[in-house]
Structure 1
Amino acid sequence: MRTANDGRGEEPWEDPTTAPSPDDEATRVFSRETLTPASGTGAADDTREFSRDPDGEATRPFRRGEPPEPVPTGTARTGESTRAADAQGAPGGAAFTRRFVRGRPPGRGQALRPTAPDPPEEDLPPAPEPEPLDARPEPPSRRPREPRESRGPRRGRRRFRLRWLVTLLLLIALALPFGTWGWVWYTARQDDRVPSDAIVVLGASQYNGVPSPVYEARLRHAQVLYLEGVAPVIVTVGGKLPDDNFTEAASGRNWLIEVGVPGDQIIAVEEGRDTLQSIDAVSEVFEEHSWDTAILVSDPWHSLRSAQMAADYGIDAGTSPSRSGPAVIERSTQLWYISRETAALWYYWIFKDSSDLQVNAA
């Protein structure tokens, strides 16, 4: 039977003649040369002779069950004989035999792992010599981080967007005046004649109670609207200069009465030296009579600005400009008035004030 392993590869075995084991196939006595029977012995079954060296200096007879003879110093290259001698102290007096196997049998469920032989020392590359500390290169200094390649296109895109934004703003700044000019021209060509609460005639120059040609053209158009039934009331508006004897509103009311409009259907608002002041005074009359809608009568190019001011005072105003008079006769005068009203409209939008042009009625 097997006993505990001593950790060095030797294991105690029983006599192979009495207790055969399946591991005996891997156990054999070997010698560096061919085994030869020992001379001078009669027991060929228990005595063998082996040689470790080809010269035979370490050849000795041995028997199973007997302690091995001491080996002279220097003849054995390994501690195998010492291990055999240590086996004498094994419990039960069992003899220990060196077991030599080509490979340790694997355990259950495991395959034999072949061990790769160690490469010869001649094939191994020589170990590199360590470099002296002075010869080692110094670590490179930390360089500033370079900007990424993507930052360039981003900056380019930002500059491109900023350039387009500035260009767009410039185009809008240039287009707004032209757009306003076109808006003034378009409104001048409109003629609203929807039923309203009152017809408002914006004042113009008068000469000692006689309306100027521009103002007379407005009053005549208001008379036509009244006769058509657009509104039951006509409101004339306008103050006077310090040396005048009549106001614009009073001179206009007198003219309408002379042409047949009933006096009780005319309201003269004798206030206002410009369009903004006139609309402010008219808004009080509308509030007093609870009126909401109106038709504004003025020159064609003045229609848009007067409608904007009336809307700011809460009056829902349409425009019906006069088509006669000095303001619409000549082409050059029309272009001048459209440009003038465009600038005056922007002036009102920015400063909320009026900038009227005095019309020469001569």
Structure 2
Amino acid sequence: MSTGLGFGATVARWVRRTLVGVVLIGLVLVGGTALRVWQVARIDDYSHADSILVLGAAQYDGTPSSVFQARLDQGAELYRMGVAPLVVTVGGKQVGDEYTEAEAGRDYLVTRGVPADRILPVPVGSDTLQSIEAVAAALHARGLDSTVISSDPWHSLRARTMARDAGLQAWTAPTRTGPAVYTRESQLHGIIRETGALLWYQLTHFSADFKYKGDQ
């Protein structure tokens, strides 16, 4: 009887230790990923590239949302700095929309002084992964293979990871304006969301995209 109780206690102890170990590993994995999201968000790499990639966001009848405008303004600034001779805008459209995100982005960049013949709209993609894969195909078709990504700071690591997986040499110089960075709350929201989205991508190689709070 005592032997059976002792064996049961031993099993229960090992189950508890295993559960604690799994929880600790999960915390380390999540915490480490969140740290990397935060670290890459702070990087501004202005190394010369073949292109500047401005990732799409919501647009309304051709007018970029505040999140999209911040990304586009950064893309225009990178072009003026001579980081790359070509700016790529990307993104499809919702049912009923007249403009794609790529077209709205192109038109906005022209108003910011970027020559129309220096802009390549890629009107494809409803999430980051689809968009980046479409851009990689468009750049490779032109013999180009490097890009600097303009997006929100917290989006940088996932976008860079996807771009490199798609065969591009990619680095980041994110916007420092817009709803994604206005408040501590929006910054924390972005880090948490991107940590989960990056872990999901690394596990499944599918995208998990959600609108930024304040993307309007």
* Common fold by TM > 0.5: yes
The TM-score normalised by the length of structure 1 is 0.54
1:288 aligns with 141
| Cross-structure match for 1:216 | 69
CA distance in 2, matches of 1:268, 1:178: 37
1:229 to 2:104 alignment: no
Q: How many Å separate the matches in 1 of 2:113 and 2:185?
A: 35
Mark the CA change 1:223 to 1:168 in structure 2 (over 3 Å): closer, same or farther: same
Q: Corresponding residue for 1:203?
A: 56
* Gaps in structure 2 of 5+ consecutive residues: 1-9
Match of residue 187 from structure 1:
40
Structure 2 counterpart of 1:261: 114
Deviations 1:269-322 (A, max 9, x none): 000000010011001111111112110110001001111111111111001110
In the other structure, the counterpart of 1:334 is 187
Alignment map for 1:1-362 (pairs within 5 Å)? 169-359=22-212, 360-362=214-216
Q: Which residue of 2 aligns with 1:76?
A: none
Amino acid at match of 1:219: L
Question: Which SS does the other structure have where 2:180 is aligned?
Answer: helix
CA distance in 2, matches of 1:220, 1:313: 25
In our comparison, the structure showing a higher alpha carbon Rg is 1
Q: Distance in 2 between matches of 1:214 and 1:171?
A: 36
Give the share of equivalent positions with the same residue, in percent: 47
Cα RMSD for the two superposed structures: 1.9
**2 CA distance for matches of 1:163 and 1:214?**
46
Query: Structure 1, residues 4-46: CA drift from partner, whole Å, max 9, x if none?
Result: xxxxxxxxxxxxxxxxxxxxxxxxxxxxxxxxxxxxxxxxxxx
Q: Helix, strand or coil for the counterpart of 1:345? A: helix
Per the TM alignment, residue 169 of structure 1 is displaced from its structure 2 partner at its CA by 4.9
> Residue type matched to 2:136 in 1?
S
| CA gap 1:163/1:210 in 2 versus in 1, 3 angstroms | closer
Q: Secondary structure at the match of 1:318?
A: strand
- In structure 2, give the amino acid aligned to 1:269: V
Per the alignment, do residues 326 and 162 of structure 1 end up closer, same or farther by CA in structure 2, a change over 3 Å counting?
closer
| 1:134 equivalent in structure 2 | none
Give the whole-Å Cα distance in 2 for the aligned partners of 1:334 and 1:162: 38
Counterpart CA distance in 1 for 2:39 and 2:58 is: 26
- List runs of 5+ in structure 1 lacking aligned partners: 1-155
- Distance apart, 1:260 and its partner CA: 1.4
SS of aligned partner of 1:328? coil
Q: Distance in 1 between matches of 2:33 and 2:135?
A: 26
Query: Secondary structure at the residue paired with 2:211?
Result: coil
Q: CA deviation at 1:163?
A: 8.9
Is residue 136–residue 145 contact of structure 2 (8 Å, CA) maintained in 1?
A: no
How many residue pairs get matched? 204
Q: What amino acid is aligned across from residue 341 of structure 1 in structure 2?
A: E
Q: Structure 1 residue runs of 4+, over 2 Å off?
A: 160-173, 359-362
Distance in 1 separating the partners of 2:15 and 2:206: 35
Shift of 1:207: 0.7
**CA apart distance, 1:358:** 1.4
| Distance in 1 of aligned mates of 2:52 and 2:24 | 40
- Tell me what 2:7 maps to: none
Aligned to 1:326, the other structure's residue is in SS state coil
Secondary structure of the 1:295 match is strand
